[in-house]
Every structure is written in structure tokens, then in C-alpha cells.
Amino acid sequence: MMDSGRHPNIELMAHSEVEDVSGYVGNFQVRVRKKARYVVEGECTACGDCAPVCPIVRPDEFQMGLSTRRAIYIPFPQAVPSAYLINMEECLGDNPIACGKCLEACDKKCIDFDMRDEIVELQVGVIIVATGMEVYDPTPLDEYGYTSHENVISTLEFERLISAGGPTEGHFVRPSDVTRPKRIGFVQCVGSRTALSGSNPDGSKGNPYCSNICCMNTVKDSLLLKDHYPGTDITVFYIDIRAFGKGFEDLFMRSKAEGVKYIRGLPGEVVGDPETGNLTAYVENTTTGRLETHEFDLLVLSLGAIPRKETGLVRQLLSLSRTSDGFLMEAHPKLRPVDSPTRGVYIAGCAESPKDVKDSVTQASAAAARAGILLNSPRITVEAITAVVDPDLCKKCGLCAKVCPFSAITWQKGEVAHVISAACAGCGTCAAECTFDAITMRHFTDQQIYAQIDAVLEQDSLEKILCFACNWCSYAGADTAGTSRLQYPPNARLIRTMCSGRVKPDFVWYSLQKGAPVVLVSGCHYADCHYIDANRNTVRRVDALWQGLEKHGVRPERLQLDWCSAAEGQKWAKIMRELEEMRAAVTVQEAEETKEALKGKKVPVSSKVWRLKEPTPATMRCMRCTHQWATTFDLAVDEERMCPVCRNNGVRVLLDGWESQRR
């Protein structure tokens, strides 16, 4: 950080936050709020005369609350710039004069209580998101006694206690009586790999993913304790030790050689002695199959990693995708691991997933290299699959701009929509939304797709399964099934689209009118859409089609919506087998009746656009047993919901008075 602060080509804006981002690749406009420090940076010498006279005492966030700070303070050692700042929410101020002691103690007179926030406008070509991560709050896991026993601490608190710059100046003591602990226990996977376990059936505690860094952090801490305090008795409770990485297995074996005991099993209960402060942990050793009791002076909870809260705001500002665990999603996990779906925005470090320092540095270097390549290019090359608006057909309604996941369409009331080609990713959601055929997708035009439908259903239409498959997931999943030589019915005919959001309701309506027995619309998993949230519009349109088919007496189950990733060849084969059973049940008479029922009928279109950003109260209704229950529905992560009565995932979500059917 100090090197960054000194670099002539780096402008470090500390104590600032991004408020708004507009524009597109090569032409981003970023509005930054530079918060008032109430201390002039260039004049403050960090002499420290102001802090001792401040009467306000607060817990020090950097020291995890194990020591205190004043209202005027330096956030952490080696902070850049090396200058004090005042937390005005805690400061007594001097207008009217209530304190002002720091102002009197400052010889440089660099404290300015009239300082105000400053808005800075930046013009940038690329953006790198490196918001980092936070650690899981162990409070819900009350079996470990984190809130009730003073000598149960987290790994971050442990790091501050053994640090030379910590509250005890490197003297390792336990919080209750400030004595050196001789028996220390470490509990792994606190907040990781715990969701939907036997003790956590509703998934309210912890997260299902592995946080990557916890195991080796504990191994490092155990070696550090053995080096400084050789007589310390250390026990580690774990599910699995994941020591992948260069030299990590050697460190693990060295830790065991130093006498650290590793017990496979997590404590089910921790009981504290109020007089001595010692702790008793009851754990089932899954290796021996016995219930064991262990006594410790100090118990350390190895906390898992979670996304930072600020990442949600950044994700909205930059139109980024996120995975089901809340971390940002890259454009492609193998071919473009640091690119985001939004062109010109790159991801680095733990914003993408939990990782250690080495991997974070590697990814940051890769992101910087990718940004350098783009900045050094005189022109930006885009694929010829972007949208084009016909100004003569455009009705100036603005629906296309509302559904564009990349904000690549600019529109003002009374004006024709305009597509920014550099920002357009070619998903086709806008073309599917436009009911006036004013938008053309290059190389994926409506005429080309209709021609493919005609070719598929020209002969023996009742023997075919017509599938609209997303290029990135479903189409690739079918390829995986084929290359894996999985057995499934061969009568599926795939029409490739860049995204399931490209599928217009007219395509499905036309297919059924042409005699298609079953139509499948398939795309990326709900939380993993290559085009951020374009497949949510797919669900909305299919909802309207289901309702329209039911209204005209056509079985809605003849239109299927399913998600399949590129790696799920087995799932694709299963979907095809299920669809073949549905196809076989469609008779010639039913197909002819469908043609007559839909002939000349208006294609149902839902005018309501999903733009939900946060979890929303909703009512779930099972389509099989009709059971209803209230819950909180998150469009970004809730791909499937199981009915608590019949345990199937065929539910219909009631949102804002209208229904969204889930298969």
C-alpha cells in the first residue's frame, strides 16, 4: 500500500466510496465521494498529540474490539496516507464549543471541523473490482459458546493477540484473565460446509461452500505457537484438511510432527467453567467412533469467508453477475477467469471467491494485464452479434432499455432507443421484449430462427422435440452429453440462441402452431446467467405463455423450462428422457386441436419486468399437492424450492399478485 501511495501513476483515494458508474468500456464515468477526514492530509504529520486528549473512547475495529481508540485516530498501522481522521458521528465537535481539545493540542493546526465531503468525477477506460471479503459471524452457531464464553475467540481475534502490533504487543494471553493459555483448541469450518447438514436442516447457519483458506491458516497458527511456545498443547477439530497448494501438504505434515493433534469431528457442545474460565468440548471422533471430552484454556473458531456487503452495491453499479454463494461471477471459469460479463470490468482477489494471498496476487496481476491489453488497443473489437434498432419501427416505449442487463440501450421518453455497440453483449433479451420487431439481432435474426423451426417441423413433426438452447450452458451441456456418449432419445432438435432471454414468445407459439408436440426452453442456471440476469426475463415470458396456453385449452406442460449448465451432460440426458415421455403422450388429435386453438390468437406477453434486487416476501404454492407457504424469495439465488409436504420442486411463486411457475 505504501508503494502504491508513492507511485507517480497511481492516485490513491482513501476514505472514499464509489457512488455511481455510467458509460461503457473505454468511456466509464465514475462518481466518487471523498469523505471529509476533518484533518488536512498534507499537513498532518501523525505526531499523535491529538489522540491522547480526546475524551471519546470506542472499541478499535482493527483490533477486533480487544483494545480501544479515540474519536480521532489512524484506522490501522501503516495506513496510507499516514494521517489522522475524525469520526464525526462520535466526535463532540466544537460548534457550539463542546470539546475542541484535539484542535488545541495540534501544533500544526491541521484540524478543520468545517471540512465537507468532496465529489470527484473520474473518466476511466477499465475498472478492476477488488472488494475483498469478510469473515462469517459465528454468533448463530451458539453450540460453540462464542457469545457466552470469553475464552472462545475467532481466528481474527487470535491473529491480533499474537501480533506484535496487537493490543498485547505480541504477548499471547487469553482474554478472561490475561494469562498465557497452555491448552488451545481450533475448530475448523465454522460458517463453511455447514449449510443443510444434519444439525442445520433449514440452512440458516453457515454456508455450503469451502472457504479455501481456513485449514492452512490453522496449520500456520499451530506452527507459530509451537515455535514461540513449545510446550503448548494444540488440538484441531476438522471435517477434512484441505491442504492443496505448493508446499501446503509439507506444512501440514510438519504441524503433525510438532505434536499438534488432529481429531476428525466437530464439537457438538462447549461448556465453560465460570470460575477458571476453562472450556470443555464434547466431540464425536468420527475416526474412532467414540464420544470424547477435551478441556482447553482457549478455543479458536476458524471462521469461513463471506462476500463483503459493499460488493452488492458495486455489483449493481457495474451490472455484474454473482454466484449462488454471493461472490462475483467471472465471464468464463477457464478461458476468462478475471473478466466479468460487463466488457471493460475485471475481477481480482476474494471478490470472485475465497482465496489466499498468493492466488489473490496472481489474479490481480492477470486482471492488470487484461486491463493493460484493452487500454493499449486503439480500437475495441466486438462480435457481430449485437442488437440494431430500426428507427422507423421503434415506438419509443423504452421496454428494451429496461430489460437490457448491460444498460447498453439508451432511451429517453419520446425518443428512439439507441444501442451502444461497445456495451452490447448480444444476449438478445431486448429483441425478445420488443413487440414491434424494431430490434434485429445480427446473425440471430427472427427470420433465421423461424426458418430453423420450419426445417425441424417440416416432416414428422410429432416425432421431434424442439429445444431452444442457450449457447453458453444448455447447448454446451448437450455437447457434453454427446461427447460423454450418454444414452438418451435422439429426436431432440436444438436451435441455438446466445441466451434463453432471446427466445420470443412468438417462437414458442409458432412452434406449437406448426405441430411441435413438446417445446423446451433451456438456459443457464438461475444464479449463473452468462448475461447477468437475462434468464429472469425468460421465466417471465414463459409464465405468460403458460397462462396463455392454459387459457386456450392447451396443456401448459407441453412447454417446458429447465436449466442446465455446460458440465451437466447427465442432467441434459435426463431432461431429454423426461421430454420423450411427454412427447409420446401427445396424440395427432391433440396436436391438430392445438393448431386450431392457437390459430389467429394473440401471443401472450407479460408487460411486467422483474427488477428485484433484494430478497422479497413471496408465497410458494406446490403444483402437485397445492400446499402453500410464505417465505422470502431471492431471484438471484433461489433456483429451486422444495415443497415441505411432498418434497418436490414443482412450485409456483406468487410475487406481487401474479404467478411465476417453477418446474
| Boundary of a domain, candidates 598, 630, 649 | 598
The pTM of the full predicted model, rounded to 2 decimals, is 0.80
pLDDT at 3: 81
pLDDT at 78: 85
Based on the domain organization, do 289 and 141 belong to the same domain?
Answer: yes
Q: Is the pLDDT of residue 256 over 60?
A: yes
Based on the domain organization, do 433 and 466 belong to the same domain?
Answer: no
User: pLDDT category, 1, cuts 50, 70, 90?
Assistant: confident
Domain span at 210: 134-306
Q: Could you tell me what percent of the chain has a pLDDT over 90?
A: 64
Strand partners, 20: 31
pLDDT at 170: 86
What is d(CA 472, CA 41) in angstroms, rounded to the nearest whole number? 50
CB-CB contact of 56 with 91 (8 Å): yes
Q: What is the mean pLDDT of residues 446-470?
A: 95
Based on the domain organization, do 521 and 489 belong to the same domain?
Answer: yes
What is d(CA 54, CA 306) in angstroms, rounded to the nearest whole number? 35
pLDDT at 639: 44
pLDDT tens per residue across span 545-557: 988 998 999 999 9
Q: Which CATH number characterizes residue 456's domain?
A: 3.40.50
Cell of 289: 467412533
Based on the domain organization, do 138 and 285 belong to the same domain?
Answer: yes
DSSP string over 413-461: TTS--EE-TTT-----HHHHH-TT--EEETTS-HHHHHHHHHHHHSS-G
- The chain-wide mean pLDDT, for the chain, equals 88
Is 175 contained in some domain? yes
Q: Is the pLDDT of residue 208 over 90?
A: no
Based on the domain organization, do 423 and 461 belong to the same domain?
Answer: no
Q: Is the pLDDT of residue 203 over 90?
A: no
Q: Is the pLDDT of residue 607 over 90?
A: no
pLDDT at 651: 58
Q: What is the mean pLDDT of residues 24-46?
A: 92
CB-CB contact of 520 with 562 (8 Å): yes
> Which residues lie below 8 Å from residue 160, measured CB to CB, with a gap of 6+?
63, 64, 66, 166, 167
Structurally, the chain folds into a number of domains equal to 4
Based on the domain organization, do 579 and 451 belong to the same domain?
Answer: yes
Is 640 contained in some domain? yes
Based on the domain organization, do 487 and 531 belong to the same domain?
Answer: yes
DSSP string over 517-580: SEEEEEES-GGG-TTTTHHHHHHHHHHHHHHHHHHTT--GGGEEEEE--TT-HHHHHHHHHHHH
What is d(CA 437, CA 442) in angstroms, rounded to the nearest whole number? 13
User: pLDDT category, 630, cuts 50, 70, 90?
Assistant: confident
For residue 396, the 8-state DSSP code is -
Is 129 contained in some domain? no
Is 37 contained in some domain? no
pLDDT at 202: 54
Q: Which CATH number characterizes residue 407's domain?
A: 3.30.70.20
CB-CB contact of 520 with 579 (8 Å): yes
| Boundary of a domain, candidates 563, 598, 633 | 598
Output 186 or 639, whichever has higher pLDDT: 186
DSSP string over 603-645: PP---------S-EEEEEEETTT--EEEEEE-TTT-S----TT
Based on the domain organization, do 386 and 256 belong to the same domain?
Answer: no
Based on the domain organization, do 225 and 240 belong to the same domain?
Answer: yes
- Beta strand 518-523 with 492-497 is unpaired
User: pLDDT category, 657, cuts 50, 70, 90?
Assistant: very low
Is 322 contained in some domain? no
pLDDT at 40: 92
What is d(CA 505, CA 427) in angstroms, rounded to the nearest whole number? 16
Q: Where on the phi/psi map is residue 38: left (φ > 0), alpha (ψ -120 to 50), or beta?
A: left
pLDDT tens per residue across span 509-520: 999 999 999 999
pLDDT tens per residue across span 391-445: 999 999 999 999 998 889 999 988 999 999 988 999 999 999 998 999 999 989 9
pLDDT at 577: 94
pLDDT at 237: 96
Is 47 contained in some domain? no
| CA distances for 239 relative to 242, 292, 439, angstroms | 9, 16, 54
Based on the domain organization, do 296 and 400 belong to the same domain?
Answer: no
Based on the domain organization, do 450 and 571 belong to the same domain?
Answer: yes
DSSP string over 157-225: HHHHHHSTTSTTTT----TTT----SEEEEEEEETBS-TTSTT-TT--SSBSS--SSHHHHHHHHHHHH
Output 453 or 97, whichever has higher pLDDT: 453
pLDDT at 380: 84
| Boundary of a domain, candidates 306, 334, 360 | 306
Q: Which CATH number characterizes residue 225's domain?
A: 3.50.50.60
Q: Kindly report which listed range (132-146, 310-324, 340-354, 404-418) carries the lowest average pLDDT score.
A: 310-324
pLDDT at 96: 59
pLDDT at 519: 96
Is 10 contained in some domain? no
Based on the domain organization, do 486 and 536 belong to the same domain?
Answer: yes
Is 46 contained in some domain? no
